[in-house]
Structure 1
Amino acid sequence: MTKDLLNYFRAKEQDNTSEMLFDTQCPFCSVQCTMRLVEERIIERNRYKVIAKDNPTSRGRLCIKGLYAHQHALHPERLLYPLRKVNGQFVRISWEEALHIIKENFVSIQKEDGYDALGVYGGGSLTNEEAYLLGKFARVALRTKHIDYNGRFCMSAAAAAMNDAFGLDRGFTNKLSELPLVRTIILAGANVAECQPTIMPYFQEAKKNGAFFIVIDPRETKTAELADLHLKIKPGTDAAFVNGFLKVLFEEGYVDETFVKKRTEGFTELKAHIDRIDLEEIARITEIPAEMIRLAARQYGSAPTGMVFTARGVEQQTNGYMTVRNWLNVVLVTGKIGKIGCGYGAITGQGNGQGGREHGQKADQLPGYRHIENPEHRRYIASVWGISADELPSKGVSAYEMMQKIDAGEITGLFVMGSNPVVSSPNAQFVKNALQKLKFLVVVDLFLSETAELADLVLPTSSYLEDEGTMTNFEGRVTWRPALRKRPGEVKHDWEILCGIAEVLGRGEYFRYSSAEEIFAELRLASRGGKADYYGITYERLRKERVYWPCPSVDHPGTGRLFEQSFAHPDGKARLAVVDNEYEKEEATEQYPLYVTTGRVLTHYLSGTQTRRSPALASRQIEAFMEIHPNTAKKYKIEPNTLVKIETMRGSAVLRSKYSDRIREDTIFVPFHWSGMQNINHITDDRLDPHCKMPGFKRCVARISPVVDLQKN
């Protein structure tokens, strides 16, 4: 916020006039659009107006979610006080009492069951400061190894694949501003038009400049309308498709042999594998004709510039890691990386899905993308935190594996901050049942979410309008979010809550902070020298500009384009990988004949805890739906706009049917923003990718049947 605007705000506050201005950022997707909220008081009634503000990423654009984000922050259901469950009902208590209850239960659990019996479950919407502090809180205040976060369900496949291939994980390897220069763009399992709509103009500009678009998706989405070539792939066969793509690149001379020899390892093994690939077999597996695979590969291989983008469609699979590794093979063997208009992008989903995983929320990570099992990394972070390296716990397990440990009785207390796993986890009924076995559950949230309803103690936290901090968008740009709106009731910031708990647990000396900026100063030091180096980024800089990491010094401009000279492995070379055609997944049977895939809609976000409380957003999509091809609907006697039961071996959901000839006939699509009987995650596959522990959200097999209208019988 500028000094002039800050003075204006303070003047308005002093003279009690009717208009207040709040500069902020959208709390939702990974673009992190900027805006100004104008609050007007008119005869005992507040009126709100949102004005988009310019920034280098979204360039003054807002989508409908950003325009109405304030509605959830001002909603009457906001939690205002700590709540304790007594005889099945929540009652208001003081913060002092809440902290005493936490101390009593946490100490008791760790005395009876050990330090690791406490788990911490974070979120990809926390600020960098709070994500960093949550990791420190788990390891220093609670001294537990069990911490992970809901970003495990978002970016883990791409993150692990980039780390292993490139030695570094950042959403985009290039600046977003390079998109109009790209001549072939591949969007694999990415629906930008509905998930990150404010960056669509970049793609549209590329299209006007002559770019050839290849969209790989079982549905004809809004994004697919850009496509010159739309490939309606069979769900879950993406890794095999890329092998066919590589086959064409190798056979038709699109391999950049100089780049491969100088800057990669593993080419000989990859070539031997691709030599054995049969393109007709790939066509059979994927149900994409061989000629279409050839066309796609030729367009990318022959283009002077090209970029590949992936998102949850290919990543939320039990082989999502290997699929992304194979797309990285494509980028590397053609040498299309480290140059203007050439690279890879994993389109981050959550608002701070990028920053949230860089600084310690993941089970195996320490700040700056350091690894918790690396002795040198442990020593450095321990020195920043003022403890010995021996005091740091080892790595824990992934988000869903924590739920399995809760079910098994190995984790008996859980602290949840910024997440709603009862709705967002696969096999969600199992997760709900597991959480009910806990001795003690604490949830920090804006609302009484579906997870918070199960809690013994619920703590109210501040919204994006009230909580200052930094976020990192999908480009790797660190952004500053001002927040000057007064907190309602007795609401505290997440970082204040963590410091308060640490204090009563006798670990307060490690959590002496008075502002988000003070926490960021420590984060900068903790990240210094790491792969995600924020040391050169300060609040002073961020108030003027958005800065790309890595940024090792205050006079460094930030790194907009990665891997121009070398990759981040010690030898400077990238790693190619051999990827199999087929992996163990649920296959359609006579009992379960249809494939189910899940995703987002434009007006909602994640588990819907916030967007379902925005009247303007909720009214545009009041309920979930099942998108089904009319021919498939006729086969199973499903009428349009009627209730349908979807069943798998894990559970069931009930949705309203929506006809669409833009989806494969063997596939149905359901958005995941609703709870209760509409929660599609009651049926999703909870098997995990062995490399990154991503669940198989994007493919399971199911049967469907109409729900009988009892009033007609």
Structure 2
Amino acid sequence: MSTQARKQSTSDRSLHYRTCPLCEATCGLEVTVEGDASDGKVVRIRGDRDDVFSHGFICPKGSTLKQLHEDPDRLALPMVKRDGRHVEVSWDEAFAEIEQLMLPVIEEHGRESVAIYQGNPAVHNHALTIYGRALISALGTRNIYSAGTVDQMPRHVSSGFLYGDPLAFPVPDLDRTDYLLMLGANPFESNGSLATAPDFPGRLQAIQKRGGRFVVVDPRRTKTAKAADEHLTIRPGSDAAWLAALAHVLFDEDLVDTGAAGEHLDGVDDVRRLVAPFTPEAVEHATWITPEITRRIARELAAAPTAAVYGRIGTNTVPFGTLASWLTDVVTILTGNLDQPGGMMWAHPAHLPPHKVGPGRGFVTGRRTTRVSGRPETKGEFPVAALPEEIETPGPGKIRVLVTVAGNPARSIPDSDRTEAALASLDVMVSVDPYLNETTRHADVILPPPSALARSHYDLAFYGQAVRNIANYSPQLFDPQGPCEEDIIARLALVASGQGAHGDPQLIHDLVLGSVLRAAVKPGRELEGHDVAELRAQLGNRSPADRALEAMLRSGWAGDHFGARPEGLSMELLEAHPHGIDLGALTPQLPGLLRTVSGRIELAAAPLADDVERLQRWLDEVPDGTTANSAVLVGRRHVQSNNSWMHNVNVLVKGRERCTLQVHPADAAAWGLTDRGQARITSAAGSVEAPVEITNDIAQSVVSLPHGWGHDAPGTRLNVAARRPGVNSNVLTDGSMMDPLSGNAVLNGIPVEVAPAPPRDTEASNTESQQESETV
């Protein structure tokens, strides 16, 4: 058992403490285990009341780590597709199969015939975060795709242009703010995103208890909106125009006060010029928000002692996602709330070094473009919505080999029917995934990683966007059934680089650790001049990923610097503090955080300024209303769900149907829909049918389907999900619709037609039911 276990005197049960890896909230868990690491069983999971960050808060997902660990559908051995069916094989056989399939294609068509897709769970896993670059380097391709371009890429791009670093996006200082303006976010259901804050709902309620105020802007009256002091209904996709109007009012009424950040700013006058056309009156028809309300909100932001403006996925997955992200920061800056307690601030995760003051390399996009439609790269990635055409289109550079890591693009990216056809046409597909799901059913080889309880955990990614600076490490609870994830990735990298299916993964481990240590001794770092071999010898006897993590933490700003700062962080210190270590509230990070070429905040970078013209054209062209049976489609989240990867847990999907089409009563009456009756939803990309949920909690002319469903595909092994499959909303999304600055797919505000579904043919329905039964 780990050093975090505490034996009970009356039985062989023990308590363990770890961080939940299932969403961005990083809640602490108390796990009761019976038995030891080789054959132990989880007895109970509840919130860790002593966790320094979450203080006992837990959502319904956290307690299901037991079910996920014990899920009989979870793959225990690799699977290889033979004669159209997946069969279990040994690990050596799996890697030999990959070598036999992949290398001839690479030899014939080159490295640009290979692509990699990394899914959302990869950032919940420090081994995959650390080892991802090693796999990409071994593949030798520039065809890199991820879930980032169906989610938060606009936030990265706007931060890159503003601050020179695409990872430097500020987060709301929830625990000290007096006023929070929140757009396109529903943390009562999502637990927060791009702002790591366990018990986000409790933190929002605490704002109110201390006399503050939070306002939600959303086309749906979400659970978060119901708890807010005020809910403003906005037209989907118009957030950028409304934020520009807020900035206009701040200038027009002489309310601009940039505060302490002002000395680091360039471009304020340029922003004044850019937002001049966006008067509250000019945007009213496009946003559905009256000029009176727009002016009042701007005044409230300016008058509040502290304020934060937080926009999330509803503002990102629209045609003006990058402008909306930029303008949340613009309004924050113009009201003097950037880099100030209670405003929008930056975390400083423990594994990063101290900031250096001075100019940086800056940020650019479009260093290369996709082969078929010329879509520019952002942050080293191509837009994932362009992946299907890169697979389909003949010619040099056609993608023939795809590696997916912890992702389900068959359900998460636009135009799913086209995506599925593209995946089925690949010459070779390899997936690192624990399930035979809608994506991996197309794979030639599936490599299953260990469960979350059979690996250690540290939130490298999410501590970089946390509302407090925290460090918390969780050792593995159980012995894994197969190799650890870094060994899987290392062996895959060896095959991809031509070193063979039986190469020693230690070669990759040495390269990864060496890269971390060489970065730690670079000029200007605290360990400058130290010998890498000497530092390597001081690391503990841990897994390869944990040794790399240890090197990062010990050389970071809070680390022990390999003994030079005995009070600093080390793995031993973290293991001795199973409830985590609180490194304190967020502190001002300017100007050291800035990495722009000028060393200043570039408030009106040219790509952003140029795109404002497109927003103004849209404002002039957007219709005042909709036509008969037409609406715009938006997504939604439920607290029991997390994209497509939590639907095979019965306790999370049982009960009332959640994959429903929400419709306003007036629209339902006009369209002839009945509650729980079936509706057909049709877009330019496709058509689906879903049960209707009539509710006043959605604006007229707007309908909503949750994302991540559609678990009725043949050839999968998701028995629970197949019994409650729902429908795949991404059948309706158009892969050609993107935010041009970030390449992010447009998943919200999709024009659709809604009508009662035609009666289903009884014989066809019975045939489908029989097919579903056989699949299950």
TM-score range, shorter chain: 0.7 to 0.9
Summarize the Cα distance change of 1:241–1:651 in structure 2 as closer, same or farther, 3 Å threshold: same
Give the residue type in structure 1 aligned to 2:409: P
1:634 and 2:669 equivalent? Answer: yes
Match of 1:387? none
Given the alignment of the two structures, is residue 440 of structure 1 paired with residue 428 of structure 2, yes or no? yes
Quick one: which amino acid aligns to residue 120 of structure 1? Answer: I
**Which of 559, 562, 587 lines up with 1:561 in the alignment?**
587
Which residue pairs with 1:500 in the alignment? 491
Q: Compared with structure 1, are the counterparts of its residues 528 and 87 closer, same or farther at alpha carbon in structure 2 (3 Å cutoff)?
A: farther
Structural mapping, 1:385-464, within 5 Å: 395=380, 397-409=382-394, 410-464=398-452
**Aligned pairs, how many?**
651
In 1, distance between residues paired with 2:264 and 2:599? 7
Following TM superposition, by how much is the alpha carbon of 1:279 offset from its aligned partner in structure 2, in angstroms?
2.3
Query: Displacement of 1:399 after TM fit?
Result: 2.6
Shift of 1:275: 3.0
Q: Which residue of 2 aligns with 1:287?
A: 288
| 1:195 pairs with 2:190 | yes
Contact 2:20 2:62 in 1 (8 A): yes
**2:474 aligned with 1:482:** yes
In the alignment, is the contact (CA less than 8 A) between 2:346 and 2:586 conserved in 1?
no
SS of residue in 2 equivalent to 1:243:
helix
Give the Cα separation in 2 of the matches to 1:712 and 1:111.
Answer: 52
Task: Report sequence identity in percent.
Answer: 22
RMSD: 3.5
**Structure 2 unpaired stretches of 5+:** 193-198, 354-359, 368-378, 514-542, 559-564, 713-725, 764-776
Which residue in 1 is equivalent to 2:28? 34
> Does residue 181 of the first structure (1) align with residue 213 of the second (2)?
no
Under a length normalisation based on structure 1, what TM-score does the superposition of the two structures give?
A: 0.83
1:619 to 1:373, Cα distance in 2 relative to 1, 3 A:
closer
Aligned CA distance change for structure 1 residues 249 and 396 (closer, same or farther; 3 Å): closer
* Cα distance in 1, alignment partners of residues 689 and 389 from structure 2: 26
Query: Partner amino acid for 1:694?
Result: N
- Which of 682, 691, 695 in structure 1 is aligned with 2:731? 682
User: In structure 1, what is the Cα distance between the partners aligned to 2:639 and 2:629?
Assistant: 29
* 1:255 aligns to 2:259 (yes or no): no
- Contact 1:603–1:617 (CA under 8 A) maintained in structure 2: yes
Equivalence for 2:102: 106
Q: Is 1:518 paired with 2:518?
A: no
User: What residue identity is the alignment partner of 2:653?
Assistant: A
CA contact (8 A) 1:68 1:614 kept: yes
Partner of 2:17: 23
Task: Quote how far apart the aligned CAs of 1:599 are.
Answer: 2.1
| Contact 2:241–2:278 (Cα < 8 Å) also in 1 | no
CA contact (8 A) 2:2 2:476 kept: no
Residues 555-609 of structure 1: CA distance to partner in whole angstroms, max 9, x if unpaired?
Answer: xx688334345650354421223434446699786487110001211111111x3
Cα distance, 1:257–1:445 mapped onto 2, change above 3 Å: closer
**1:264 and 2:265 matched:** yes
Distance 1:369 1:63, change over 3 A: farther
For 2:366 and 2:248, locate their aligned partners in 1 and report how far apart those are by CA, in whole Å.
38
Does the 8 A contact of 2:52 with 2:581 survive in 1? no
Structure 1 residue 374, shift from structure 2 partner: 13
Q: Distance in 1 between matches of 2:215 and 2:16?
A: 41
1:77-226 maps to which residues of 2 (within 5 A)? 77-126=73-122, 127-139=125-137, 141-170=138-167, 173=170, 178-196=173-191, 198-226=199-227
* Structure 1 position 75 matched with structure 2 position 71: yes
Larger deviation, residues 701-710 vs 204-213: 701-710
Q: Does the Cα contact within 8 Å between 1:629 and 1:662 map onto a contact in 2?
A: yes
The 8 Å contact of residues 451 and 480 in structure 2, kept in 1 or not, is answered as: no
Q: Distance in 1 between matches of 2:90 and 2:259?
A: 67
1:231 and 2:262 correspond: no
| 1:98 to 1:227, Cα distance in 2 relative to 1, 3 A | same
Query: What secondary structure does 1:181 align onto?
Result: coil
The residue that corresponds to 1:391 in the other structure is none
Q: Give the letter for the 1:468 counterpart.
A: S
Query: In 1, Cα distance between the equivalents of 2:422 and 2:557?
Result: 39
Residue 262 (structure 1) shift: 2.3
Structure 1 residue matching 2:242: 3-state secondary structure = helix
CA distance in 2, matches of 1:692, 1:594: 26
TM-score normalized with structure 2 length: 0.77
Q: In 2, Cα distance between the equivalents of 1:82 and 1:486?
A: 20
How is 1:245-394 mapped onto 2 (pairs within 5 angstroms)?
245-256=246-257, 262-343=263-344
Q: Which runs of 5+ in 1 are unaligned?
A: 347-353, 360-367, 376-393, 530-534, 549-556
CA shift digits 1:661-683 (9 cap, x unpaired)? 12111100111131146000110
Q: Secondary structure at the match of 1:200?
A: helix
Letter in 2 for 1:144: T
Decide whether aligned partners of structure 1 residues 546 and 161 sit closer, same or farther in structure 2, where only a CA change above 3 A counts.
farther
Alignment partners' CA distance in 2, 1:583 and 1:494: 49
Deviation of residue 276 (structure 1)?
Answer: 3.2
- Describe the superposition over 1:380-407 as per-residue Cα deviations: whole angstroms up to 9, x where unpaired: xxxxxxxxxxxxxx95523333333122
Cα deviation digits, residues 635-661 of structure 1 (max 9, x gap): 111100112111111011221111111
Q: Deviations over 1:170-218 (max 9, x none)?
A: 57636x7x52432211011110111107221111011111212221100
